[in-house]
Structure 1
Amino acid sequence: MDLKFTDEQNMLRDMTRDLCSDYSDVAVVRKMENDPIGIPTELWAQMQGTGLLGMRIPEAHGGMGLSLLDCAVIYEQLGRFLAPGPYFDSTAMSAGALVHSGDANWQAKLLPAIATGDSIVVPAWLEPDNGFGAIGVQLRARRDGDDYVLDGVKRHVFYARAAHKLLVLARTGDEDESISLFIVDADSAGLSYEQQRTMASDTQYKLTFKQVRVPQSALVGAENSGWKTWTTALQENLVLLAAWAVGGADRALEITVQYSKDREQFDKPIGAFQALAHYMADASTVVEGAKVLVLEAAWAHTEGKSIARLAPMAKLFGCKAFRDVTAMAQQVHGGIGFTLDYDIQLFYRRAKQLQMNWWDSRYLEELIASEILDGSGRSIDDPFTV
């Protein structure tokens, strides 16, 4: 494994860091908390101008066609700044699902617009009281003449009010994995929105589908092929979430180290106390280990190797590192670390939120266990609900 960054990767890292420093500082992150749209206008415009929104989209469809390793370098910087916006949801997850679906028609229609940021497509996947596996998808899409009619509820739909279209996972059969993907206009009749409040104060919605009618052409790929397409895209993009988490953990540790140098007690910096110094030393070790695991997963994918084990490992360990480091950071800050005046709480809240979203720790552990014990990579339906 060669983890020496290329000149292009160094350029991407520096460009993303500069862009976020200018357009996604703490003031922007705070302003976007509980915002109904959740997109910082200037940051989004800059990501459009630099082409970053097309980083994972093939060049044939107007994107940059970057490798997963290139994108992991970028996402680490986005995580350092807690950059808000639907860049993961639209340009990684929805675009990735379209690419893996093999549906040339929808690829031609949507991928170029997603790459430029002119069209935002967000996934509607998880449902109340259902798990992360295939049987957790219970929203029904039933045939009615030449149309499909969608009925059900989706939760944790990020940036739904900013979206032009939704990528909806719906059940089209009775087998566990009889799931299909549909492109649904965000303003469709029978579709209602309710903003959800979360510990990260990010932008999520509960969507209720009541007799939402879509044409047969809304189907992405073949009927009942959606679950395989979705999980393939998500497995890849777990690495980007892990890179985001590692960037956040690294920045939270930097903030805490600086605070321990500035804050004095008994006429010396609190960082001079052995107990706190050891906490930060342990955290530094964990962060560096998480970085290597994330980069190994990204490198393996770029080299055409399987990431069936590495991707969930990277997300599991990266998010745990983010959560543990920020919890330690809160302790070093003391009681004031929990107040809204201090920035460290922004990282703490997002760390736990990311750990629970997409595939959570328990589901990731089951995936890793299935790979270690029998190498089946089988679909897991855990008892934990969302």
Structure 2
Amino acid sequence: MGILSSASLAFGSLLWAASVTAAQVGDFRLVEELQLGRIEGLESDLFGDIHDLAVDADGRIYVVDPGMQNVRVFDRDGQLVREIAPEGEGPGERRHRRMSYLGPTSLTWEPNRARLWIDDGFQRQVLDSLGVEYRRDMRTGNFYTNPDIPAGKIAQVDAQGHIYEYQRLPIGDTTVSYIARGVPTAEYGVVFSDTLTIDSRALESGETRTTERTIGSSRVSIAVSDKRPERDEHAWTVSTARGTVWISVNERRQLHEIAFTGDTLRTFDLDTAPTELDVSPEGWVWIRHSGANAETTWDLLDNCGERRGSVLLPVPVSLTHVGRGGVVHVVWSDDLDIEYIMRLRLEGDVDRRTCQANQTPSVTQDSTV
């Protein structure tokens, strides 16, 4: 399994001039290094429904795919190493759900202990790269069975080992979304100590479902109307180096960096509402936009908060994973809805920067981001 040349789009070096609004200008290019996936062939070469991916320090790529009912592990050259977390109920196995009330299944790599966290809001597991299971938890909080307990899903782990969990809690006719930050225990549980509210949405009525229950000696039918949160109007991510949260308020076309104290550290105006936010370990913010012409654009903010430019990829991207050194993994699909994973590297005019006294200090850069 290597770089494809027979997919619906052939990629070589992807090169565009940066479109920059700030005084600092630069030219960037995205160079393809690897592509995974096939239109047909062995099942191990196909993707059915990619929910998330994670990358460890050795460049191994972990892909959770409920369509194939497993998590696949590829080495940095794109060769399949093994399949872990197969469908089942036993140790190291899991129930692969296509969707939950908290969205797709998430994969989070914890570098300090080299562990993979798999979480869909119902079931959370901690595995190593071989698929050995260290912990399994079933979640009890959801909108219907136990609405007083927040429904949560592990989102990220930062450089200090903090665990970040995205949570929702229905309160009356609204649902409050927030990020909880905690520390993992030796047994791979999590003790949360800080929370940051990021959104509050009205619950909208969904379809009505009828269930039968026994009350006393009678069997009765009860109609229940589901209430679900309205569509989120923001994108967010955690800066793993700084422990802050980046969140877009799409209705205002603004991007904020927020500390866990609730203080807004920086605010930026946006031309269009972003689809996804990612922050590199060096502190660069990647703001993804989906174009009307089946293309993807990332606007780039450097570690000092300066707008540096944008890069364009002529395919629709559904998922971005930004790593160290400008390495970016994306999931994209062709006209037949066949999914692929591509590894790209950002190269170009990236100088070493030292932030001014009135800017937020961060790590300086070399030739890549």
- Smaller-chain TM-score bracket: under 0.3
Report the structure, 1 or 2, having the larger helix content: 1
Identify, as 1 or 2, the structure richer in strand.
2
**What TM-score do the two structures reach when normalised by structure 1?**
0.24
TM norm structure 2: 0.25
